[in-house]
A and B are shown apart, each in its own frame.
Chain A
Amino acid sequence: MIPIHGLHLRAVLIQALRTFFIDRGYLEVETPIRIPAPAPEAHIVPLTSEGWFLQTSPELCMKRLLAAGIPKIFQICKCFRKGERGDRHLPEFTMLEWYGAKSDYRDLMRDCEALLHHLGTVMGKGGVLEWQGRRIDLGPEWEHITVAEAFRRYAPCTVEEALAQDQFDEILVEFVEPHLGMTTPTFLCDYPVVLGALARLSPAEPKVAERFELYVAGLELANGFSELVDPVEQRARFLAEQAIIRLQGRDPGPMPEVFLDGLETMPPAAGIALGVDRLVMLFGGADNIDQVVAFMPEGL
Chain B
Amino acid sequence: MYSASDFRKGLKVQIDGEPYIMTDFSFSKPGKGQALYRARLRNMITGNAFEKTFRSNDKLEKAALEERTMQYLYKQGDEYFFMDNVSFEQLEMSKAQLGDAVNFLTDNMDVEVLQYNGRPIGVTLPNFVNLKVTQSDPWVKGDTSGSDSKPVTLETGYVVQVPPFIEEGDKLQIDTRTGVYVTRVKE
Partner of A85, one of B27, B148, B180: B27
A174 to B34, CA, bound (A): 14
Q: Are B53 and A213 touching (Cβ within 8 A)? A: no
CB-CB contacts of B64-98 with A at 8 A, as 1s and 0s? Answer: 00000000000000000000000000000000000
Partner of A223, one of B5, B31, B148: B31
CB nearest to A86 among chain B residues: B27
Q: Are B146 and A174 touching (Cβ within 8 A)? A: no
Q: Are B148 and A4 touching (Cβ within 8 A)? A: yes
A86 to B181, CA, bound (A): 20
CB nearest to B5 among chain A residues: A83
Let me know if A173 is at the binding interface, CB within 8 A.
yes
Contacts of A111 in B (CB 8 A): none
Contacts of A172 in B (CB 8 A): 30, 33
Main secondary structure of the interface of B (DSSP, over half): loop
Tell me the A1-46 residues at the B interface (CB within 8 Å): 1, 3-5, 41-44
Let me know if A265 is at the binding interface, CB within 8 A.
no
CB-CB contacts of B19-32 with A at 8 A, as 1s and 0s? Answer: 00000001111111
CB nearest to B27 among chain A residues: A86
Interface size on A, residues (CB 8 A): 29
Q: Are A43 and B32 touching (Cβ within 8 A)? A: yes
CB nearest to B28 among chain A residues: A173
A3 to B181, CA, bound (A): 13
Shortest C-beta distance, B1 to chain A (Å), equals 16
Known contacts A1-B181, A5-B148: does B32 contact A41 (CB below 8 Å)? yes
A174 to B36, CA, bound (A): 11
Let me know if A227 is at the binding interface, CB within 8 A.
no
Partner of A195, one of B33, B57, B146, B148: B33
Using C-beta atoms within 8 Å of the partner chain, give the interface range for chain B.
20 to 34
Partner of B148, one of A3, A43, A86, A177: A3
Partner of B31, one of A4, A87, A174, A213: A213
Q: Are A86 and B26 touching (Cβ within 8 A)? A: yes
Shortest C-beta distance, A269 to chain B (Å), equals 19
Partner of B147, one of A5, A86, A168, A191: A5
CB-CB contacts of B88-112 with A at 8 A, as 1s and 0s? Answer: 0000000000000000000000000
Contacts of A87 in B (CB 8 A): 26-27
Let me know if B149 is at the binding interface, CB within 8 A.
yes
A3 to B28, CA, bound (A): 23
A197 to B180, CA, bound (A): 41
Shortest C-beta distance, A166 to chain B (Å), equals 10
CB-based closest 3 A-B pairs: A86-B27, A169-B33, A43-B34
8 contacts between A and B (CB under 8 A): A1-B148, A84-B29, A85-B27, A86-B29, A88-B27, A195-B31, A197-B32, A213-B30
Residues of B within 8 A of A (CB): 5, 26-36, 38, 53, 56-57, 146-149, 163, 180-181
In the complex, given contacts A5-B146, A86-B28, what are 17 additional A-B residue pairs having Cβ atoms less than 8 angstroms apart?
A1-B149, A43-B29, A43-B33, A84-B27, A84-B29, A86-B26, A86-B29, A87-B26, A88-B27, A89-B27, A169-B34, A169-B36, A170-B53, A173-B38, A174-B53, A177-B30, A223-B31
